[in-house]
Amino acid sequence: MQRTPGPTERLQGPEHRRLGHDKTAAGGLQNPKYKGCKHDINGADRLQDPANIGTRHEKTAAKGLQGPAVRRPRHAKSAKGRLQGPADRGPRHGRTAPGSLHGSAVRGPRHGRTAVRKLQDPTFRRSGHDRKAPGTLRGHADRGCGHGRRVALGLQGSADRGHGRIRTAAKGLRGCAESEPGHGRRVQRPKDKTIGQNKTTEGGLNGLADRGHGQEGKAAGGLQDPAYRQPGHGRTAPGGLQIGDLNTAEQLQEGCRALQTEDLDMAKRLEEGCRALQTRDLNTAEQNFAAALKSVHGEESSKEVEPLLKLSDVYLKRGMLSEDGDDFTKAAALCNAALVRSKTTEEQGDIKQTVLLITQSFVKHVLGITQTVCIDDVDKHKTMLKEDRRTVAKQIEKIEQQADPYCLDDDDPSITEVEKRRVEAIKSLFQTILYQRKTFIVGLIDECMKVMGSPPCKYAMIGLGSQATGLVTPYSDLEFAILIEKETENNVTYFRNLTHFLHLKVINLGETILPAMGIKSLNDFNPDDPLGNWYYDSVTPRGFSFDGAMPHACKTPLGRGKMCELIRTPSNMVKLLEDNVTFHLKKGYHLASVLGNVSLIAGEQELIDGYTSLWAKLLREDSRKIPLLLANAIITENSPNFEKELGSTSLLDVKKEIYRFSNIAVSCWALLREIQPTTIWETIAKMHNNGVIDKENAHHLMVMVSISAELRLRTYMNNHGQVENMSALSSMPTETELGEKLRKVFYISNAKQLLRYYYTATPLNRFFTNMLKSPEHALELFDNSVQLRSQVYDSLCDYPNSKACLEELLQNYQTQFGKNSVHPDIAQTLAKLGIAYQNIGDQSNAASYHEQSLQMMRTIYGENTEHPDIAKSLNNLGAAWRKLGDHKKAVSYYEQSLQMMRTTYGENTAHPDIAGSLNNLGNAWGNLGDDKKAVSYHEQSLQMKRIIHGENTAHPGIAGSLNNLGNAWRNLGDYKKAETWVTPGEHLGDHKKAVSYHEQSLQMMRIIYGENTAHPDIASALNNLGSAWWNLGDHKKAVSYHEQALQMMRTIYGENTAHPDIAKSLNNLGSAWRNLGDHKKALSYHEQALQMRRTIYGENTAHSDIASSLNNLGNAWMCLGDYKKAVIFGEQSLQIMRTIYGENTAHPHIAIALKNLGVAWRLLGDHQKAASYHEQWQHMQRECL
């Protein structure tokens, strides 16, 4: 039975945080200063103290909450006087600007580029606008102070914004365009304190653990530098600058001098490379140009244009000397990479001319044709591809309308016939794509042969991979080999040159990523030097291109070099495959499995017939040794990838996790049963005709294969390239106020399609690993059991359906074993039901099921036995009680769980369950107000998870710990802010750390789940970031994050659903709007939050969330001037807190509630009561300390 992931795999719900306080740090009770309705909020996340507000909150940009305010007067950009880079390009293409100083960068007489792209003098750059250095604020080189071009991670200026006004950036400073020069952002004066922002925490163990929304975040988006996440601050790095620190012209000049050094270093590299190029020292030139490219890689892509073009010059010159077509294809790929990164029409025109010259030079130096030839029209080829893809898109829409089995119930009698129609429609679609692709490739070959002349012998260009299986897409790589009649030097040379010529045409389509070219100065795939493979091409669209030059690829006629070329006679090609099976099978380059299945693209069918006949004969020899070796190697190599749990909330790789499994499983099964695979459809039909599978299983295989192929096709079409990101979760609008460039993700329109895939893939997966032992084992390739459905529904965040399936499963087990039976399956199901109830927000039922599960586990294993399942049950109970507000009981269960796990796994063992238990204890101690202990436990948990999963791995557990550390530091910042012994402003450092951790957590979650995916953990992370920015005083940004979180939660749980996470977002929005001065809107949100919480927990239940909402409503009414209502709500809140924590318990939340009531009574004029509450507050505060 598949184990249900536990709480260490999810973020903790936004509820368990200090008083109130749900997951986010914003949930604390806050106290208004004695100022009526103008009471400021110091932070949204804890019970806040209104004291010490005055000048302490009038922070300057240098030391306090800093806005992007210390802006220098705008400097007009000047084209004159700039230091032109290594740019002297020769008479044909060189452009110079008036007064420019030219470097020594001669690019050859035909390839000079203009001075537009030359390096500009770094002395004209203001600090913060130099080329991106690690962690520094950067803009473009030719912009004056404050006018840098938009960059991915920096501070942007804008020439039309007035002095120093900063344009917003994708991941930089936002919403600050109206700041005046020299003025920090205004920090609002403190008003009343709310239990405003609810903190989201993680918390549980893998397995049968607390998986509620409250659990550790399953993570998604790249990690972000924790140093640049404050309002008004760009990134900082060693030696870098923060805008808020630039209070003097001297500091600004020093910053500029510090940042200039990297630009000068790049200029020096380019200059040295140009000198080497002039002297024909091509290796030195390449090294210098590659170093220059590396220095700007990962920044704004346009900065790569100059070094890419210089590298192209190197390979063009090398090709002229070597007369090797491979050098010309590399030159063309580098030039096309520069083209897609270029920003100006004029520059793009120059680059296109260079691309044309590379092709002409190839014709002259490689083909030996000196007369002028007609070079093909690249735009015509691109238009043909677009038209073919448009046709496919229309056909997909038509299929969706005409045959949709996923709208039917599983027991609908017509579902099988509708599934058959869908399979036939998908099969016909892929036949159309295959025909389109073959026609397009043959057209390119004909163009090449018109220049080269007719082929010297009979040949057959044979398609491999998806071209042969019949599942090729409009964006698939071109994998092929060439069979020739006679293997003479002249014949091989002709087809080698034909391959290079065809490659040039394909490269010029602009869809070949640079790593596929195997340029060693950028991507050296030698495993002995992993640092040599450093260039990642995220800009070039990855579409129709040659199979890459990576070690396990190279499935083109050029192979892995001239000794391993795939240009052979049929007999020699078969001999190559035999040698591959005998000597190279374990190296992962399975030529025999790829070349064993081929299809004709162009040429003579008779050569293919002769080849396949020889290969089939070889497969039958020696008791079918080769098929067994091939199948064994493929199964052994792929089994670990296919053994992972099916159904995942993470972002799916549709090729690796869906498409590849179905194809490999069918192919291996066919090989083991003496069937040579051809197209996937024909292979399944042969398996049925030969009695390997019956009619029903053949149908299920056809459905599974068609779904996997369709999902890959739709993902590529949606993402416009080979971007395999697919999600079964809901999508959110792509336009967000964050301005981030979202990664492409295909969202399945009907999750039942994925469910149907798993109905067959799951039993096939179980059979796959045993295929070698029992290939004739009888099986049914259909499983729609409640166990499987509950797992998949859970992975899709469809918690009500998951719960319903588990309840049915429990009933089945009780019928099977007896209603009062004690059985491991029943105990496990009880635990899963507890988690399901947590996920839908019913914590009382969750605790009840976990109690039953623990009791049964102890009966099964022994009352005093230390067993992992008992430890997980203890953990689950801790999570349930924490959600119910009994944090002392939660700590007790968590400590028992941790002790048992350390005994079971070893005291010093890094184990996911131990890491989860440490995390959960951090959450619980944070709820109890011991923030230092909370930070300590979360740091131990994070360290252990990085040991387990890898330091730089994007993993849900790591993302969850980052999130929880952010919450803990935020709590600690609030605690320091309330104390008189702390240096004023010291608490801001903790809030900045909090923002940093929350940013890293959110980015990692987006990597895992998808940038634009609606997932509970992403929603919680957005909520936490809103709270963190609230604490730093950026309330507009707080509102933006909280609104995104609320929208996402309603997408997940339902618009009208009462769920704890939705209530917390409503609560946080109320706090944020009140701090922005809209007290009526704040009141509305807090009332909605209170009503929802009473619906969830019960009208008369004493719960910390209800206490938080009551407190916040009191503060809201105080701001609106109704002090009587403020007292009523405040006293109700205090009463609930004392019920939860104990009548005589000293707790920080109770202390601040007392303080808030003192303020309210004072505003009502009852100074005696005000003094009494104030004294109680002071006494309790001393006890808490």
In a domain, 691, yes or no: no
The number of domains in the chain is 6
Which pTM does this prediction carry?
Answer: 0.65
Domain limits for position 1117? 1088-1184
Which amino acid belongs to residue 751? A
Place of tokens 């006949």: 613
Q: What is the pLDDT of residue 698?
A: 96
Give 10-residue mean pLDDT values along the chain (1185 residues): 39 36 37 36 35 34 35 37 37 38 37 37 36 35 34 32 33 31 33 41 34 34 31 32 34 40 73 94 96 87 94 97 96 97 94 95 94 82 96 94 89 93 97 97 96 96 96 96 96 97 97 93 76 85 88 78 85 91 66 89 97 93 85 79 58 82 91 91 96 94 97 93 76 42 65 91 85 67 92 80 93 91 94 88 86 94 89 91 83 91 87 88 81 84 87 84 81 47 43 83 83 79 86 84 86 74 89 87 92 83 86 90 91 88 79 88 90 88 73
CATH number at residue 473: 1.10.357
Check whether residue 269 and residue 326 sit in a common domain.
yes
Tally of residues, the chain: 1185
Q: Give the sign of the dihedral formed by CA 538, CA 544, CA 547, CA 552.
A: positive
Residue 168's pLDDT is what? 33
Q: Does 331 reside within a domain?
A: yes
Based on the fold, state whether residues 904 and 996 are members of the same structural domain: no
Q: Would you state the pLDDT for residue 697?
A: 95
Residue 118 has a pLDDT of: 35
Q: With respect to residue 196, please indicate whether it lies within any of the assigned structural domains.
A: no
Same domain, 498 and 543: yes
**Claim to verify: residue 849 and residue 909 sit in the same structural domain:** no
746 in any annotated domain: no
Instruction: Tell me how far apart the alpha carbons of residues 859 and 820 are, in angstroms, rounded to a whole number.
Output: 13
Statement to judge: residues 996 and 922 lie in one domain: no
pLDDT of residue 330: 97
Residue at 648 is within a domain: no
Do residues 900 and 1016 both lie within one domain? no
Instruction: Identify the CATH number of the domain in which residue 1157 sits.
Output: 1.25.40.10
Write out the DSSP string of 460-519. EEEE-THHHHT---TT--B-EEEEES---HHHHHHHHHHHHHHHHHHHTTT---GGGG--
- Where do runs of H (alpha helix) occur along 978-1011? 986-1009
Domain at 318, CATH number: 1.25.40
Asked if residues 24 and 17 have their Cβ atoms less than 8 Å apart, the reply is yes
Q: Output the pLDDT for position 645.
A: 56
Residues 6+ apart with CB under 8 A from 928: 887, 888, 891
Q: What is the pLDDT of residue 844?
A: 82
616 and 513 both lie in a single domain:
yes
Query: Same domain, yes or no, for 488 and 539?
Result: yes
- Residue where one domain finishes, among candidates 622, 650, 684: 622
Residues 345, 453, single domain; the answer is no
Minimal CA–CA distance to 926: which of 15, 44, 7?
Answer: 15
Q: Is 544 within a domain?
A: yes
Q: Is residue 361 helix, strand or coil?
A: helix
In terms of domains, do 615 and 506 share one? yes
CA atoms in the 13 A half-sphere facing the CB of 867 = 16
Residue-level pLDDT at 616 = 92
What pLDDT does residue 465 have? 92
d(CA 246, CA 256): 11
pLDDT at residue 231, rounded to an integer? 30
The pLDDT value given to residue 1132: 92
Last residue of some domain: 559, 592, 622? 622
Cα 991 to Cα 993: distance, rounded to the nearest angstrom = 5
- Cβ atoms of 367 and 451 within 8 Å: the answer is yes
Would you call 903 exposed, middle or buried from its count of C-beta atoms within 10 A (0-12, 13-18, 19+)? Answer: exposed
- How many secondary structure helices (H) and strands (E) does the chain include? 34, 9
Q: Are residues 1110 and 1027 in the same domain?
A: no
CB 332 within 8 A of CB 356: no
Domain finish residue from 353, 375, 397: 375
Residue 140 domain flag: no
Nearest-angstrom CA–CA distance, 976 and 986: 8
Closest CA to 474 of 434, 518, 515, 427: 434
* Structural domain includes residue 45: no
Query: Which stretches of 70-206 are assigned E, i.e. beta strand?
Result: 156-157, 166-167
Predicted local confidence at residue 885, as pLDDT: 73
Pair (273, 361) in one structural domain: yes
End-to-end, the C-alpha distance of the chain in Å comes to 49
Pairing of strands 725-727, 567-568: unpaired
